[in-house]
Every structure is written in C-alpha cells, then in structure tokens.
Amino acid sequence: MASEKVTACCEALIEKNLTIAFAESASAGKMCYEFSTVFNSGRILIGGITCYHISMKEDLLHIPWGTIEQYSAESAEVTKLMAQNFHKYINSDICVALTGLTTPGGSESESKPVGTIFIHIIISDKEIAKRFEFDGDAESIVNQAIDTVADLILKELN
C-alpha cells in the first residue's frame, strides 16, 4: 500500500490531469510500483524503466560512454541524463529519475556514503535536481526516497 505522501501526490496529479513516468536505478522499480497502487493510478501513471546495471543506463537511456566512468553510476550527472533522455522518449508531463547507494559498494565513499540518493525531476520546462542522505537499511532508504519524490512533486504543483 502506498504511503500517505505518494497517495497525496497521485491525487494531486489526477486532479491536475498530469501524467508521470520513472527512470529508476537504486529503487529498482519500487517507485513506479508504489504509484501504481493508488486508486485511479491508471489515469496518471505512464510507466517506468529500471536501469540498475550500467549497461542499461548506457544502452537504453543513452548515457554517453565515459560519463558513468567519470562521475559514477550513482551521481547527479547520471541521474540528470537519465531523466532528460527518458523524458525525450516518453510522452509524460513529469519524469523522475533516481539513483543512489542503498547498500555498501558501488561508488560509496566518505563524501558519498550509503544512503546517498540523487533525484532529478522534470516537470514541464522546469528541472529539479536534489541530493539526499537517508539513514536505515536499503528498504528504508528507498521508501524515504520515494516519499521525498512525492513531496517534491507536491510542493511544485502547489
């Protein structure tokens, strides 16, 4: 069942007749799923793509070769490109991309610890780019990130 924030976000999207799509890495499709569980979600949810592995980001989202090597798969730069490139191919009012570190490994460092999440949202001609550091286990980090996305969209719509 979707959280209160996700439900409120979906209700606002339905009220404003806006659609949404997701390009997910760290959340591995859970964000799209959460939005799909809200009543009448079929009126707003276009769908999503899960690009967990580097090859998916490069092959399907056309992240230029060398970009991930330069910035890492879990970076603001890659998240921005995921949102922008997915938005080009999907007819949706809002496009959300999310990457980050929910478990040890990857590009984890002292300056980018586990819990670091990058979010990039495109709403009409506006782009919102944010970096967050959440605490908890992997599931908790993903749930906090999803609620944060819903909250950012709600604030933008109001």
Q: What distance lies between CA 94 and its chain's CA centroid?
A: 11
Q: Choose among 92, 80, 91, 98: nearest CA to 150.
A: 98
Residue 22's DSSP bridge partners are 48, 96
* pTM, two decimal places: 0.96
Q: Which domains does the chain have, with CATH numbers?
A: 4-157 (3.90.950.20)
Q: What is the pLDDT of residue 155?
A: 96
Q: What is the pLDDT of residue 51?
A: 95
For tokens 């550091």, name the residue.
Answer: 133
Q: What is the pLDDT of residue 158?
A: 87
Looking at the predicted structure, is the pLDDT value of residue 124 above 90?
no
Q: What is the pLDDT of residue 5?
A: 98
In this predicted model, what pLDDT tens digit does every residue of 7-37 receive, in sequence order? 999 999 999 999 999 999 999 999 999 999 9
Looking at the predicted structure, is the pLDDT value of residue 114 above 90?
yes
In this predicted model, what pLDDT tens digit does every residue of 46-99 receive, in sequence order? 999 999 999 999 999 999 999 999 999 999 999 999 999 999 999 999 999 999
Alpha-carbon distance 18 to 134, whole Å? 29
The size of the chain, in residues, is 158
What percent of the chain lies above the pLDDT cut of 70? 100
The answer to whether 99 touches 73, Cβ cutoff 8 Å, is yes
Q: What is the pLDDT of residue 1?
A: 81
Q: At 125, is the pLDDT very low, low, confident or very high (cuts 50, 70, 90)? A: confident
